[in-house]
Amino acid sequence: MSSHEPPIRTGLLAIVTGLMFTIGPSMVDLSLPALPLIQQSIGTSALRAELSLTVVFLGLALAQLIFGAFADRWGRRRPLLIGMAGYCCAALAAAFAPDMVTFLIARLIQAVCYGVAIVLARSAVVDISDERSTARVFSTAIMFMALMSVIAPAVGGALLAIWSWRAIFLVMSAFGAIVMLAVAACLPETLSPERRTRLPVSRVFSTYGGLLRQGRFAACAIIGACAVTYQFTYNTGAPAVVVEHYGLQPATAGLIFSVIAISTALASQLNSWLLRWRTPSQMMSLGVTLSVVCSAVLLTNVLTGVGGVAMFVVTLFVLMATIGLIAANAMAGAISSAGHQAGAASALVGVVQFVFGTVSSAIVGVFHDAQGRPMAMAIMALSLIALAISMRTRSQPSTFASV
Other CB atoms within 10 Å distance of the CB of residue 209: 8
User: Which residue ranges form the domains of the chain, and what is each CATH number?
Assistant: 10-191 (1.20.1250.20), 209-394 (1.20.1250.20)
Other CB atoms within 10 Å distance of the CB of residue 251: 8
Q: Which of 206, 138, 244, 222 is nearest to 344 (CA)?
A: 206
Residues sharing a CB contact under 8 Å with residue 269, sequence separation 6 or more, in sequence order: 139, 140, 143, 324
Round to whole Å and give the CA distance between 3 and 91: 39
Specify the pLDDT at position 205.
66
Q: Give Cα 19 to chain centroid, integer Å.
A: 13
Q: Are 145 and 21 in contact (CB under 8 A)?
A: yes
Count of residues in the chain: 403
Interior CA angle at 169 toward 165 and 175, to 5°? Answer: 135
Specify the pLDDT at position 333.
86
Give me the amino acid identity at 174.
Answer: A
Specify the pLDDT at position 212.
83
Specify the pLDDT at position 399.
39
Q: Which of 339, 317, 325 is nearest to 217 (CA)?
A: 339
Q: Are 91 and 176 in contact (CB under 8 A)?
A: yes
Round to whole Å and give the CA distance between 284 and 334: 12
Interior CA angle at 396 toward 393 and 400, to 5°? Answer: 60
**Angle formed by the axes of helices 100-128 and 77-95, to 10°?**
160
Q: Which of 71, 63, 66 is nearest to 24 (CA)?
A: 63
Give me the amino acid identity at 299.
Answer: L
From residue 316, alpha-carbon distances to 7, 53, 77, 338 in Å are 40, 24, 38, 33
Q: What are phi and psi of 72, to 5 degrees?
A: -95, 10
Round to whole Å and give the CA distance between 141 and 156: 22
Q: What pLDDT tens digit does each residue of the chain (403 aa) get? A: 444 555 677 778 888 889 998 998 888 878 777 777 888 878 776 666 667 777 887 888 888 877 766 666 677 788 899 999 999 999 999 999 888 889 989 999 999 999 888 888 888 887 777 778 888 888 888 888 888 888 887 788 788 878 888 898 999 999 999 999 999 988 887 766 666 666 665 566 677 777 888 888 889 999 999 998 898 888 777 777 887 788 887 667 777 877 888 888 899 889 888 988 888 888 999 999 999 999 999 999 999 989 998 999 999 999 999 998 998 889 888 888 777 777 778 778 888 888 888 788 778 777 877 888 988 999 999 999 999 998 887 655 433 333 3
**What is the reported pTM?**
0.77
Specify the pLDDT at position 193.
67
Round to whole Å and give the CA distance between 19 and 76: 16
Q: Which of 123, 15, 7, 135 is nearest to 64 (CA)?
A: 123
DSSP state of 199: -
